[in-house]
Amino acid sequence: MAHRIRLYSILLLVTGSCASIFGQESPKDAHRLISPLTREYRYPTKIIWSKGQIRDVDNILIKGDGQASLTNQHIVHLRNSVRDTASILLDFGKEIHGAVEIVTGAWAGSHNPRNIRIRLGESVSEAMSEIGDKGATNDHAMRDFNMQLPWLGKNQTGESGFRFVRIDFLDRESELQLREVRAIATYRDVPYLGSFKSNDERLNKIWEVGAYTVHLNMQDYLWDGIKRDRLVWVGDLHPEVATVNAVFGYNDVVPKSLDLARDATPLPGWMCGISTYSMWWIVLHHDWYMHHGHLEYLKEQGDYLKRLVAQISSKVVDGKEQMDGFRFLDWPSSEDSLAVHAGLQAMTILALEKAAELSQILGDKDTEKLCNATIRSMRNYTPKHNNSKQAASLMSLVGLMKPKSAYDQVISVGGAQNFSTFYGYYMLEAMAKADRYQEAMDIISQYWGAMLDLGATTFWEDFNLQWIKNASRIDEIVLDNKVDIHGDFGDYCYVGHRHSLCHGWASGPTAWLSEHVLGVKVLVPAKKYTVSPHLGELTYVEGTYPTPFGEIWVKHTKSDDGKITTEIKAPKELEVTLNTAR
């Protein structure tokens, strides 16, 4: 549809002097700003399940003040007998990163502390599980443990990623009074500068959930997951940083994470032990510079970049990559050695192309020359994609495969089947390169939307459309005749409940919709942008895109005859052009 769009009218409104989102008229010092973490109290929205002797249970949903009180107002009474114990399962409504705080009342008799067990879960089934049950674990963050509660006081857990909290009262023949159970959400209190709204509410929700998924992972560093993989995985950062750029603009969590990866990986090591992840570090720096234009920060990478390029080039023999370390694209493709080789060939070209551009900016002619020479040799060899959507997508993006052929022969086969949450972003990018924008939106709606249909409020580490047959929602008790969507699936490092249901690498549709449907893309850092809308079957798209000088606002409206009206408002410091070629 996009190639048939005709421009009906253009209203280009350039604002007057626009205050920078950094509180200054130049982005040059933005890399020094820090967005601190903040804590916010949130209360449960629903009682999923309970058992045993519990009185006035609905009081647990009352928003309080976090203060124990001699008046014992709004108390929930739990009483255990010799044989029976009381338990309750709470839903906080959406995924949270943080801790749980429990405020107690003044129970009669002994003032001895009461013993409870707390189980945090990203799904109901995880919160109801035992350690080792379907992969349930305490890896990375404690989510299943015992804790003592004081008489007329409060106590807090450590932090993890969760939505559901199960509390078991452990003491026999005893009473426990709960005044409040609340979550302490820890997050960066930063505005959502980017936005996306269309006449398709499902796409709007997917954009929002992708943004929220990354927001939760913007902790001390940019993590991959808030429950498991609270680590800086450099390759996984790429879709996350694309989302940060499209939603939050500049945030110090990105350079802080990139620097951690660099400083923790003296050469000749590969970041995270994976050659492609060191390549992604190069691509990330290219993308970060394009969006924010911080030359001084880029100069800090010059020496490491130069030596890393030399190391990568040394692993190319007769035009073929021969990378050592862990040879990896993503988990679903990891056992296909032909696909991994094809993907590595393409990734090496991509990284060296970006490195050549950075070296030119830095005035490093020798490194730029080495990059270009290695790329020329690699383009004389085209590996087999082995029908891998991951490999074909990367090959399409660097020109080792014609975009239309990559789409027709590989990416389109089976629709959303064999998509992956991580490399799905590059599959969407390859579809855009083949001018298959509506088909890409259909995939987004089908694949990422299916997680929402199952109760997701953040996107998952992995997902397969084959899982949804007779599957339970994550916010329901799993019935005997239903499939446990969390506990029964998963593979590699994410089996069952170990599977992360808030994984930043799955946020690709957010960045993709902003760049390709809303259509905003940077051409020259902090200076030139283009707006190239691809509405497909949509009739209306509106949104904003962050820049170092403020947000670009765009609105596209399609009339019944297919004509598009585009309105643009942009800071006066920027040059924004409307691309009507398609």
- Alpha helices, DSSP H only, in 315-455? 337-362, 365-378, 389-398, 403-406, 424-433, 437-443, 449-453
Q: Using the structure block, give the residue that is written with the tokens 């106590």.
A: 155
pLDDT at position 1 is 35
- Mean per-residue pLDDT for 207-218? 98
- Contact assessment for residue 474 and residue 456, using Cβ atoms and an 8 Å cutoff: yes
Top-level CATH class of 41-186? mainly beta
- Strands 174-188 and 76-80 turn out to be antiparallel
CA-wise closest residue to 129 among 541, 539, 499: 499
Q: Which helix (H) or strand (E) holds 39?
A: strand 37-42
How crowded is residue 106: how many other Cβ atoms within 10 Å of its Cβ? 16
Share of the chain above pLDDT 90, in %: 92
Q: Is the pLDDT of residue 145 over 60?
A: yes
- pLDDT tens digits, residue range 317-367? 999 999 999 999 999 999 999 999 999 999 999 999 999 999 999 999 999
Dihedral angle over CA of 168, 174, 175, 181, nearest 10: -20
Could you tell me the CA-to-CA distances from 123 to 79, 155, 386, 506 in Å, in that order? Answer: 27, 24, 36, 18
- Strands 320-321 and 540-547 turn out to be unpaired
Task: Name, in order, each residue with C-beta under 8 angstroms of 520's C-beta and a sequence gap of 6 or more.
Answer: 514, 529, 530, 531, 545, 552, 554
Q: Of 10-24, 146-160, 205-219, 291-305, give the lowest mean pLDDT range.
A: 10-24
Q: What does the buried/exposed string (b/e) look like for 272-302 if buried means 16 or more CB atoms within 10 Å of the residue's CB?
A: bebbbbbbbbbbbbbbbbbbbbbeebbeebb
Q: Is the pLDDT of residue 5 over 60?
A: no
Q: Is the pLDDT of residue 13 over 70?
A: no
- pLDDT tens digits, residue range 363-384? 999 999 999 999 999 999 999 9
pLDDT at position 29 is 52
- Contact assessment for residue 355 and residue 305, using Cβ atoms and an 8 Å cutoff: yes
Task: Name, in order, each residue with C-beta under 8 angstroms of 512's C-beta and a sequence gap of 6 or more.
Answer: 425, 428, 429, 432, 440, 444
Share of the chain above pLDDT 70, in %: 94
Task: Name, in order, each residue with C-beta under 8 angstroms of 83's C-beta and a sequence gap of 6 or more.
Answer: none
Number of H helices, E strands in the chain: 15, 20
pLDDT at position 176 is 97
Q: Cα–Cα–Cα angle for 136, 138, 141, nearest 5°? A: 130
Handedness of CA 427, 432, 434, 436 (dihedral sign): positive
- pLDDT tens digits, residue range 279-328? 999 999 999 999 999 999 999 999 999 999 999 999 999 999 999 999 99
- Contact assessment for residue 258 and residue 281, using Cβ atoms and an 8 Å cutoff: yes
Distance between CA atoms of residues 178 and 162, nearest Å: 21
* 195-461+500-517 and 41-186 share a CATH fold: no
- pLDDT tens digits, residue range 549-569? 999 999 999 999 999 999 999
Q: Is the pLDDT of residue 417 over 80?
A: yes
Fold of 195-461+500-517: Glycosyltransferase (1.50.10)
Q: Which helix (H) or strand (E) holds 563?
A: strand 563-570
CA-wise closest residue to 205 among 216, 196, 215: 196
Three-state SS at 130 = coil
pLDDT bracket for residue 34 (50, 70, 90) = confident
- Mean per-residue pLDDT for 130-140? 96
What are the extents of the domains in the chain? 2-20+522-578, 41-186, 195-461+500-517
Give the 3-state DSSP-derived string for 422-476, with helices as H, strands as E and coil as C.
CCHHHHHHHHHHCCCHHHHHHHHHHHHHHHHHCCCCCCCCCCCHHHHCCECCCCC
- Mean per-residue pLDDT for 401-421? 97
pLDDT at position 35 is 84
- Contact assessment for residue 186 and residue 98, using Cβ atoms and an 8 Å cutoff: yes
- Mean per-residue pLDDT for 122-137? 97
Say whether domain 2-20+522-578 belongs to CATH 2.60.420. yes
Distance between CA atoms of residues 92 and 75, nearest Å: 19
Q: Is the pLDDT of residue 132 over 50?
A: yes
Task: Name, in order, each residue with C-beta under 8 angstroms of 278's C-beta and a sequence gap of 6 or more.
Answer: 234, 265, 270, 271, 308, 312
- Mean per-residue pLDDT for 65-74? 93
Task: Name, in order, each residue with C-beta under 8 angstroms of 163's C-beta and a sequence gap of 6 or more.
Answer: 91, 92, 93, 94, 95, 96, 121, 122, 123, 457, 474, 475
Q: Supply 415's token pair.
A: 């629709």
pLDDT bracket for residue 30 (50, 70, 90) = low
Q: Is the pLDDT of residue 521 over 50?
A: yes
Distance between CA atoms of residues 374 and 378, nearest Å: 6
CA-wise closest residue to 238 among 360, 394, 358: 394
Bridge partners of 144, per DSSP, are 119
CA-wise closest residue to 91 among 162, 24, 141, 34: 162
Q: Is the pLDDT of residue 448 over 60?
A: yes
Distance between CA atoms of residues 320 and 48, nearest Å: 56
- Contact assessment for residue 449 and residue 21, using Cβ atoms and an 8 Å cutoff: no
- pLDDT tens digits, residue range 264-275? 999 999 999 999
